[in-house]
Amino acid sequence: MSRIRPRDYPAQVSEKLSEEGITPLLARVYAARGIASARQVEHEFAALFPYHLLRNAERMACLLADAIRLGQRILIVADYDSDGATACAVGMRALREFGANVDYLVPNRFEFGYGLTPEIVELAAAQRRPDILLTVDNGIASVEGVAAANRLGIAVLVTDHHLVGEEIPAAACIVNPNQPDCEFPSKNLAGVGVIFYVMLALRAELRKRGVFAAKPEPNLARFIDLVALGTVADVVRLDDNNRILVDQGLRRIRAGRACPGIQALLKVARRNADKASAQDLGFAVGPRLNAAGRLDDMALGIECLLSDDETRAMQLAEQLDALNRERREIETDMLKSAEAQVRQAEQDAKHLLDNVLAHRAAAPYTLCLSDPGWHQGVIGILASRIKDRLHRPVIAFAPSAEGILRGSGRAIRSLHLRDALDLVSKRHPRLLVRFGGHAAACGLTIREDDLAAFSDAFENVARELLTPADLDHTVETDGPLTPLEACLETALKLNAQVWGKGFPIPTFDDRFTVIRQRVVGEKHLRLTLANGPQNYDAILFSQTGPLPGKIRAAYRLDINEYNGSQNLQLVIEHWESV
């Protein structure tokens, strides 16, 4: 069950923001998102939290500066998603400019799994012979991997942002805003944000040592486009600090100063760099970069981000685009298979998911899906799609090694997924071979024979942590728009802002009369809607069934560009019959 509900906002704060020069509509939108001062949306570099608040950043800077002075070999070990790829690129580009002897290694997710494992340490030692392993976007859970490196005499520097487990690895230095006793005000930095801050600290340390007396000091703002991409693509909360990083990165991209890799990825995605938005990074560039790690080798994506040759960057971007098309085809096939499982599960549960509220207590709270033909690299996307459709925590499993299933889960807002898995592991110590993650997403490994037992255990924990009301999907909006506000100028103004997780893109709701509707692209509805005397062009994606004559719709303002002209378009996110 879904329902539309306007967000509450403090009227006094909205009035204050208007007095500070923000338009009444944006003042209302900002107030509903916790903005109390116009300074919070100015997004200037000077407002970033300083690096010295990040625990161990200055200490790690000293260790890296020593390594550069001694000519030691530094090997970056990256995660295989967009955050890891951009973090690796920032580390590589900055350290090279600082004069470091640096290279990188990104584990193949299908051979080595996630993080700095003992197997990765063994591979790195045999092939690269590093003096220092520098992790980006991973490492805080790599207790065994760090121990293996220590035994070989390889120092490990961990930069990560994931939540800390019960045991902290015995690394030479750890920088993570979520580690104990770290006073950094933003706990929402992505992995790329963490390594960017470490590079800021390293530059300051090298400046103190007089390294730049005889050569130009590197401008680290040159890498802010990479920071913006990784921050948006990793779907971390866009608090004040992260919005500055993203906004500054977007300014650089729009000004035509992005690295060739990002420019090429925008081009293959048919997005205009001079009008790039956070949504372009999250829904166009990020998936193409992620496709390398999901289906092939993330080194392909990292090389695209590292290339300074436009021709080479475009060649790599085209390969990533092809992988993304392949990923979408695999995803479509898997989604059909998963939907068949869901339909069967609903039948087995006597369609309780759609029953009246009085019977919802007996409906399943979770879904655990598995298929021997599913691809490990796409199960996370699959779990997300099913979660969005059914508003249930979902874990999708694919076969890994013989007798082993690898799962990826996605949760609704009311359930902290990692905490739920931790509770399952404590009650059933043998069920989970390995797990990790955070509130919204997780990765786990179980034995194939334990799938049914795990499904029951996960369901039981979810029933304790959730209520039936949590399973109702609320579509939050910013209320109605006046005819003067529902215009192209407003859409352009909204598109220029930074929106994302924790700072959602504005969605409005109104009642409309459906004037015309037709199917386009075989799976979308093109609409003409009327609200009073005003008609609007609108689109409803992934639905072909006819709408009733009158609806209440939650929608966002979009810009439809055709033959060089721009027109307002409403994108319908949800509708109800009235």
Is 50 a member of any domain?
yes
| Residue 1 pLDDT > 70 | no
How do residues 515-548 score in pLDDT, each as one tens digit? 999 999 888 999 999 999 999 999 999 888 899 9
pLDDT at res. 340: 74
Q: How far is CA 489 from CA 30, 132, 278, 495, in A?
A: 18, 52, 19, 10
| Residue 307 pLDDT > 50 | yes
CA distance 426 to 430: 9
Q: Which of 203-217, 258-272, 400-414 shows the lowest mean pLDDT across its residues?
A: 400-414
How do residues 48-88 score in pLDDT, each as one tens digit? 999 999 999 999 999 999 999 999 999 999 988 999 999 99
| Residue 346 pLDDT > 60 | no
Is 272 a member of any domain?
yes
Specify which residues 409 forms β-bridges with: 395, 442
CA distance 501 to 133: 31
Is 522 a member of any domain?
yes
pLDDT band at 336; cut points 50, 70, 90: confident
pLDDT band at 355; cut points 50, 70, 90: very low
228 shares its domain with 198: yes
pLDDT at res. 113: 66
| Residue 466 pLDDT > 50 | yes
173 shares its domain with 304: yes
466 shares its domain with 553: no
Residue numbers of the domain that contains 560: 475-577
* 398: DSSP letter: E
pLDDT band at 345; cut points 50, 70, 90: low
| Residue 452 pLDDT > 90 | yes
Q: What percentage of the chain exceeds 70 in pLDDT?
A: 95
How do residues 431-441 score in pLDDT, each as one tens digit? 999 887 778 88
Q: Which of 184-188, 216-220, 414-418, 516-520 shows the lowest mean pLDDT across its residues?
A: 414-418
CA distance 114 to 366: 25
Q: Which of 153-167, 183-197, 336-350, 508-522 shows the lowest mean pLDDT across its residues?
A: 336-350
Report the range out of 248-257, 375-384, 420-429 with the highest average pLDDT: 248-257
570 shares its domain with 447: no
Question: Which CATH number belongs to the domain containing residue 252 in this structure?
Answer: 3.90.1640.30
Report the pLDDT averaged over residues 147-169: 95
Is 28 a member of any domain?
no
pLDDT at res. 421: 93
pLDDT band at 293; cut points 50, 70, 90: confident
pLDDT band at 362; cut points 50, 70, 90: low
* 116: DSSP letter: S
From 308, 323, 338, the end of a domain falls on 323
pLDDT at res. 276: 95
413 shares its domain with 554: no
522 by DSSP, 3-state: which?
A: coil
453 shares its domain with 479: no
pLDDT at res. 110: 61
Which candidate, 306, 282, 308, 297, places its Cα nearest to that of 505?
282
Q: 137 with 16: CB under 8 angstroms?
A: no
How do residues 385-418 score in pLDDT, each as one tens digit? 888 888 899 999 999 888 999 999 999 988 999 8
31, two tokens: 């107030």
Report the pLDDT averaged over residues 257-285: 96
| Helix (H) or strand (E) segment spanning residue 573 | strand 565-577
CA distance 131 to 233: 31
Count Cβ atoms below 10 Å from residue 488 Cβ, excluding itself.
14
pLDDT at res. 354: 46
pLDDT at res. 351: 44
| Residue 243 pLDDT > 90 | yes
User: What are φ and ψ of residue 124, in 5° steps?
Assistant: -60, -45
Report the pLDDT averaged over residues 229-233: 96
CA distance 354 to 367: 15
285 shares its domain with 191: yes
pLDDT at res. 120: 94
Residues in the chain: 578
Q: How far is CA 483 from CA 54, 530, 537, 539, 570, in A?
A: 47, 11, 14, 19, 13
Fill in the amino acid letter for 429.
Answer: P
**Strand 173-175 to 367-370 pairing:** unpaired
455 shares its domain with 492: no
Is 5 a member of any domain?
no
Is 21 a member of any domain?
no
353 shares its domain with 454: yes
Structural domain count, the chain: 3
pLDDT band at 449; cut points 50, 70, 90: very high
Q: How far is CA 362 from CA 339, 394, 498, in A?
A: 21, 17, 41
| Residue 295 pLDDT > 70 | yes
146 shares its domain with 257: yes
| Residue 348 pLDDT > 70 | no
pLDDT at res. 384: 87
pLDDT at res. 357: 37
Q: What is the pTM of this model?
A: 0.87
CA distance 205 to 94: 14
Cα of 196 vs its chain's centroid, Å:
17
How do residues 20-30 score in pLDDT, each as one tens digit? 999 999 999 99
**What is 1-53 written as a DSSP string?**
-EEEEEPP--HHHHHHHHHTT--HHHHHHHHHTT--SGGGGT--GGGSPPGGG
**Strand 565-577 to 550-562 pairing:** antiparallel
From 471, 494, 520, the end of a domain falls on 471
433 shares its domain with 545: no
Is 275 a member of any domain?
yes
Report the range out of 87-91, 343-347, 370-374 with the highest average pLDDT: 87-91
Half-sphere exposure of 539 (CA within 13 A, CB side): 14
Q: 313: which residues sit within 8 A by CB, 6+ positions away?
A: 259, 260, 261, 263, 264, 304, 307
Q: 265: which residues sit within 8 A by CB, 6+ positions away?
A: 284, 285, 288, 289, 304, 317, 320, 321
Question: Which CATH number belongs to the domain containing residue 359 in this structure?
Answer: 3.10.310.30
Question: Which CATH number belongs to the domain containing residue 568 in this structure?
Answer: 2.40.50.460
* 163: DSSP letter: P
Is 1 a member of any domain?
no
| Residue 315 pLDDT > 70 | yes
142 shares its domain with 259: yes
| Residue 491 pLDDT > 60 | yes
pLDDT at res. 344: 63
CA distance 224 to 65: 22
Query: DSSP strand E in 240-363: where?
Result: none
